[in-house]
């Protein structure tokens, strides 16, 4: 009978622990930060792809003008 009560207490403890972890917002904030970083990276890639040719052309023009 003591083994059953120990097992029930063990299961109860694990269920409480899982409930506490599921209620925590720490994982959600990590996901949100990850999404923000990925959006910033996508914006940087788009900006470089859009302006990269223009910047390279400007450097080439300056290089050709200099003796």
Q: Give the pLDDT score at 37.
A: 93
Q: Give the pLDDT score at 43.
A: 93
| Structural domain of 41 | 2-65
Residues in the chain: 67
Query: CA-based Rg of the chain, rounded to a whole angstrom?
Result: 29
pLDDT tens column, 7-57: 788 888 888 887 877 776 666 677 888 889 999 999 999 988 888 888 889
What is the number of domains present in the chain?
Answer: 1
Q: Give the pLDDT score at 55.
A: 87
Residue with tokens 């910033």: 40
């Amino acid at each position: 009978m003591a083994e059953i009560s120990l097992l029930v207490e063990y299961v109860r403890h694990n269920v409480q622990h899982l409930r506490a972890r599921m209620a925590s917002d720490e994982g959600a904030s990590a996901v949100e930060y990850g999404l923000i970083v990925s959006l910033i990276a996508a914006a940087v890639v788009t900006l470089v792809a859009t302006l990269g040719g223009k910047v390279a052309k400007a450097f080439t023009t300056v290089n050709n003008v200099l003796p």
